[in-house]
Amino acid sequence: MALILQFPPTHNILIDIDRTTERPTFDVHWLKWFLDLAKVLNSNFGIKVTHNTLTGLDGGDGTNFFHFSAAQTIGMLGGRLADASLFHTHRGATTVVTTPAVGASPVTFTNSTSYTQTYVIKGVSVSQIAYVTAAATTIDLGFTNGAVTVFPNDKVKITYSGAAPVVYLISR
List, for residues 48-66, the tens digit of each pLDDT value: 655 555 555 555 455 444 5
- Measured between alpha carbons, how far is 112 from 106 in angstroms, rounded to an integer? 19
Q: Sign of dihedral through CA atoms 30, 36, 42, 45? A: negative
Give the mean model confidence (pLDDT) for residues 159-170: 93
- Measured between alpha carbons, how far is 13 from 150 in angstroms, rounded to an integer? 28
Tell me what pLDDT residue 29 has: 78
Q: pLDDT at residue 142 above 60?
A: yes
DSSP secondary structure code for residue 109 in this structure: E
Average pLDDT in the chain:
75
Cis amide prior to 9 (ω within 30 degrees):
no
Helices within the chain (DSSP H only)? 28-45, 70-76
Tell me what pLDDT residue 84 has: 47
Q: Torsion over CA of 73, 77, 79 and 84, rounded to 10 degrees? A: -40
- Phi-psi category of residue 122: left, alpha or beta, with phi > 0 → left and psi -120 to 50 → alpha: beta
**pTM for the full model?**
0.50
In SS3 terms, 21-35 reads as CCCEEECHHHHHHHH
Bridging pattern class, strands 138-140 and 126-132: antiparallel
Tell me what pLDDT residue 65 has: 47
Bridging pattern class, strands 138-140 and 107-110: unpaired
Tell me what pLDDT residue 74 has: 57
Domains in the chain: ranges and CATH: 15-86 (no CATH), 96-171 (2.60.120)
